[in-house]
């Protein structure tokens, strides 16, 4: 089927590259109470690496699975997407079980007292897509979004785009006003009712990319400069203390830049970057060609997310008082954690390259 092939063409390595970059940034941000997070938490504006990761994940799902909506089997897209959701759900349960086992035997501190005192409650909560321990809110939210994705893709296929976005926007707006619908991960760390708008919009863009790609307009130099100017203004406002814009930053309502509910300025800031990189993709393409390790990390993103969560708890056990370390000590600990995240992928690529070279030499 031609339409099915259009939804499953070759991977976009720039997406894998950016998603791979997000993983070490999230690792640094998660290991709190150290100075390096000043450079990795919302470095380009008001959006964080987790928001970029959710956007790219939604875009990839829409791009890859949209082809299945044209099949005569109406439930094929459900089976394909829900198989992926089941794998992510299994990763979620597995990493939760390992964390509970570690928590019972390791000093993680107050952040995970519930896992030590009530390990069975944490396990049951994880089954129900509830996050009762730090770092366990991301995978439940993504599983829930995946479960909704086939229905959304079929609505996009039927031309009901405006209705879907209207409902999604109203749910997001309710979360901004404090009337959040109960959606996994059932925690205010990441409010699923707010973050769904980001995923739904990315899902639609991926759907359009596979079925009816948008054409880049010609002669966009002025538009590119305008977008870059807005992006620069957002970055300066985010780091207002550096540029002497403290008074202006204080005038911005807190809910506009709230991460947990994905405030309007967070969404706007992220989509300014999306639009700019769509219009000017060449620098990102060049970086992706050189960053093979990050491309591979993006391809195996969700197994690495589970490994990253586990690393967070291991390092929290080893260094429960990281804030008390010297500047150099904090940097060494954080860099070691990132190395533990990146090294397995680097070794995998190296071993694969060696195997290919050996195979080529034997054939020669």
Domain ranges, ordered by start, for the chain: 2-363
C-alpha distances in Å from residue 98, one per residue of 3, 27, 91, 129: 42, 18, 11, 16
Is the omega angle on the peptide bond into residue 185 within 30 degrees of 0, that is, cis? yes
CB 189 within 8 A of CB 131: yes
Model pTM score:
0.90
Q: Which two structure tokens, joined as six digits, stand for 150?
A: 């086939």
- What are the structure tokens assigned to 146, written together? 């995946």
Spatial separation of the C-alpha atoms in residues 20 and 109, rounded to whole Å:
30
C-alpha of 293 from chain center: 18
* Tens-digit pLDDT string for the chain (364 aa): 333 333 444 568 899 999 999 999 999 988 877 888 888 899 899 999 999 999 999 999 999 999 898 777 888 999 999 999 999 999 999 998 888 887 777 665 555 666 667 778 888 888 999 887 778 888 999 999 999 999 999 999 999 999 999 999 999 999 999 999 999 988 878 999 999 999 999 999 999 999 888 888 887 889 999 999 999 999 999 999 888 888 888 899 999 999 999 999 999 999 999 999 999 999 999 999 988 889 989 989 999 999 998 898 888 878 878 888 999 999 999 999 999 999 888 877 766 654 454 344 444 4
Alpha carbons 82 and 185: distance in angstroms, whole number: 18
């Amino acid at each position: 089927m031609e339409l099915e092939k259009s939804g499953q063409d070759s991977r976009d390595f720039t997406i894998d590259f950016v998603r791979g970059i997000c993983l070490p940034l999230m690792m640094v941000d998660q290991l709190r109470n150290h100075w390096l997070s000043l450079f990795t938490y919302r470095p380009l504006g008001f959006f964080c690496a987790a928001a970029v990761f959710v956007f790219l994940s939604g875009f990839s799902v829409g791009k890859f699975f949209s082809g299945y909506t044209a099949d005569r089997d109406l439930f094929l897209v459900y089976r394909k997407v829900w198989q992926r959701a089941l794998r992510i759900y299994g990763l979620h349960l597995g990493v939760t079980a390992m964390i509970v086992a570690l928590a019972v035997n390791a000093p993680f501190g107050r952040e995970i007292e519930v896992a030590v005192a009530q390990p069975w409650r944490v396990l049951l909560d994880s089954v129900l897509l509830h996050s009762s321990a730090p770092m366990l809110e991301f995978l439940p939210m993504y599983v829930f979004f995946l479960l909704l994705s086939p229905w959304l893709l079929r609505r996009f296929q039927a031309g009901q785009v405006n209705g879907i976005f209207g409902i999604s926007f109203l749910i997001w707006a309710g979360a901004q006003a404090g009337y959040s619908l109960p959606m996994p991960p059932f925690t205010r760390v990441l409010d699923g009712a707010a973050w769904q708008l980001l995923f739904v919009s990315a899902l639609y863009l991926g759907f359009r990319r596979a079925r009816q790609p948008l054409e880049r307009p010609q002669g966009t130099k002025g538009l590119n400069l305008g977008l870059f100017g807005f992006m620069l203004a957002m970055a300066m406002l985010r780091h207002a203390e550096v540029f002497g814009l403290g008074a202006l930053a204080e005038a911005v309502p807190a809910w506009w830049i709230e991460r947990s509910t994905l405030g309007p300025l967070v969404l706007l800031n992220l989509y300014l970057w999306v639009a700019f990189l769509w219009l000017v993709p060449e620098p990102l393409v060049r970086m992706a060609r050189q960053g093979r390790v990050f491309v591979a990390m993006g391809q195996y993103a969700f197994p690495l997310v589970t490994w990253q969560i586990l690393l967070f708890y291991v390092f929290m056990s080893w260094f429960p008082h990281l804030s008390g370390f010297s500047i150099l000590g904090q940097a060494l600990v954080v860099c070691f954690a990132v190395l533990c995240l990146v090294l397995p992928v680097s070794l995998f690529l190296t071993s694969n390259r060696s195997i290919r070279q050996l195979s080529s030499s034997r054939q020669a």
